[in-house]
């Protein structure tokens, strides 16, 4: 699941909701020269708009702003320190001969499912060393298949289903035409510490240690703003769920995309801080973390946060994706794999 820091702690966030964007300075890229991922100059790409402030703000509000700026500065320091202390990512020989051979990765990451797909966590001592903000190369990774080779210029997110104005949005449109939100959020895999569970009773999941948990500063478009733009229909009309679909072609269920869904009232709640994220710790997303855009849904397991997002579909029924219905279903503690398969089917 994920937990976010309240937006009021960041001085620039409330302004960002009205169109002001104050991006982190991007650091040097660690991607290979032939990688489709490039570090973009967001300071130049983002429109710098100014919002008139109320001169009648109280001393208390000014104090909150000052605290927010201090917190933002602390995060900047953590991010810079984390980058400076890391060894360079490399082309790992273990990726040779796989569809991921083009991706550079931190050599200390512990692989949990062999050569491919890439599922990994950092050594726990390294995770603890870096404190609150996890450097991106040490952020845990859960992949179900090959990482899509994406291009910022060619990528678009389709929004369709029970909406009045179906549309496709390019990455530049998401960045330039919508407000942004930025906050720290902690992601954790639902399988974190499963190795200990497997010592008691073997599950069908692989052996995650205790480091499948990471915190980053994420920036992106509020989902509710996107759905308002396309005119999401009412619950009375049957618009009860918002489904998300990734780009991967995966084997689950005989072949499918990775997908999941949220109830419409959750998706439209601005206090939930649900975003289509395109930046992590001040840089564009890394390939393993969903470049160029992914969902960040604070308060939910990592499995709900679709990476390489391609489609958002407003529907009456929840997602029928194999990975929503079978792979990431949370059941009562007395339900084991055998009982689940008997009740839900294989």
pLDDT computed for residue 37 by the predictor: 52
* Token code pair at residue 234: 């009412």
Tens of pLDDT, residues 151-210: 999 999 999 999 999 999 999 999 999 999 999 999 999 898 999 988 988 887 889 999
Q: What is the arithmetic mean of pLDDT over 98-117?
A: 95
* Token code pair at residue 56: 């009648």
Annotated active-site residue 328? The verdict is yes
Distance CA 206, CA 120 (A): 11
Residue 53: band (very low, low, confident or very high) from pLDDT cuts 50, 70, 90: very low
- Say if residue 288's pLDDT is above 60: yes
pLDDT computed for residue 40 by the predictor: 54
Q: Which residues are 110's β-sheet partners?
A: 121
Least confident of 30-34, 253-257, 285-289: 30-34
Tens of pLDDT, residues 19-36: 333 343 334 444 454 555
Tens of pLDDT, residues 233-243: 999 999 999 99
* E strand residue ranges, 133-264: 141-142, 156-161, 167-170, 181-188, 213-222, 241-246, 259-263
H-only helix segments in the chain: 11-16, 42-45, 59-85, 124-130, 171-176, 194-200, 223-230, 264-267, 322, 337-344
pLDDT computed for residue 25 by the predictor: 38
Closest C-alpha among 146, 87, 148 to residue 122: 87
> Which residue would you say has higher pLDDT here, 18 or 105?
105
CATH superfamily placement of domain 2-331: Oxidoreductase, molybdopterin-binding domain (3.90.420.10)
Closest C-alpha among 143, 139, 270, 141 to residue 216: 139
pLDDT computed for residue 63 by the predictor: 52
- Say if residue 42's pLDDT is above 80: no
What's the mean pLDDT when you consider all of the chain? 83
Q: Which of 189, 192, 224, 281 is catalytic?
A: 189
Annotated active-site residue 327? The verdict is yes
Q: Which of 119, 143, 241, 328 is catalytic?
A: 328
Distance CA 243, CA 65 (A): 36
Q: Which of 92, 273, 288, 327 is catalytic?
A: 327
* Token code pair at residue 119: 């599922």
- What is the chain's Cα-based Rg? 20
Sketch the domain layout of the chain as residue ranges: 2-331
Ramachandran angles phi, psi of 141, nearest 5°: -130, 130
pLDDT computed for residue 65 by the predictor: 59
Residue with tokens 């969903």: 290
Widest Cα–Cα separation across the chain: 64
Q: Report the residue count for the chain.
A: 346
Closest C-alpha among 245, 209, 213, 239 to residue 323: 245
* Token code pair at residue 308: 């390489």
pLDDT computed for residue 22 by the predictor: 37
Chain-centroid distance, C-alpha 275: 8
Distance CA 229, CA 262 (A): 18
pLDDT computed for residue 344 by the predictor: 65
Least confident of 11-15, 293-297, 311-315: 11-15
């Amino acid at each position: 699941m994920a937990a976010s820091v309240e937006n009021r702690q960041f001085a620039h966030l409330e302004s960002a909701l009205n169109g002001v964007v104050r991006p982190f300075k991007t650091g040097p890229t660690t991607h290979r020269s032939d990688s489709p991922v490039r570090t973009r100059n967001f300071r130049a790409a983002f429109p710098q708009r100014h919002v008139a402030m109320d001169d009648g703000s109280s001393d208390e509000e000014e104090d909150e702003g000052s605290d927010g700026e201090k917190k933002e500065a602390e995060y900047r320091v953590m991010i810079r320190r984390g980058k400076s202390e890391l060894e360079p990512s490399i082309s790992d020989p273990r990726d040779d001969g796989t569809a991921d051979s083009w991706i550079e990765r931190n050599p200390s990451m512990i692989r949990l499912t062999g050569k491919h797909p890439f599922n990994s966590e950092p050594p726990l001592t390294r995770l603890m060393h870096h404190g609150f903000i996890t450097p991106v190369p040490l952020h845990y990774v859960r992949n179900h298949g090959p990482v899509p080779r994406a291009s910022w210029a060619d990528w678009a997110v389709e929004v369709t289903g029970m909406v009045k104005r179906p549309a496709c949005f390019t990455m530049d449109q998401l960045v330039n035409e919508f407000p942004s939100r930025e906050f720290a959020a902690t992601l954790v895999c639902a399988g974190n510490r499963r190795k200990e569970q497997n010592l008691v009773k073997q599950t069908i999941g692989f052996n995650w240690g205790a480091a499948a948990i990471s915190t980053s500063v994420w920036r992106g478009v509020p989902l509710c703003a996107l759905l308002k733009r396309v005119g999401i229909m009412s619950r009375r009309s049957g618009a009860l769920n918002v489904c998300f679909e990734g780009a991967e072609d995966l084997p689950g269920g005989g072949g499918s995309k990775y997908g999941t869904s949220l109830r419409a009232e959750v998706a439209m709640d601005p206090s939930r801080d649900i975003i289509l994220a395109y930046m992590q710790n001040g840089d564009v997303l890394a390939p393993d973390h969903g470049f160029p855009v992914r969902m960040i849904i604070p308060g939910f397991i990592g499995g709900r946060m679709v990476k390489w997002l391609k489609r958002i579909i407003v529907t009456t029924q929840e997602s029928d994706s194999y990975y929503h219905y079978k792979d990431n279903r949370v059941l009562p503690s007395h339900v084991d794999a055998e009982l689940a398969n008997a009740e839900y089917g294989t």
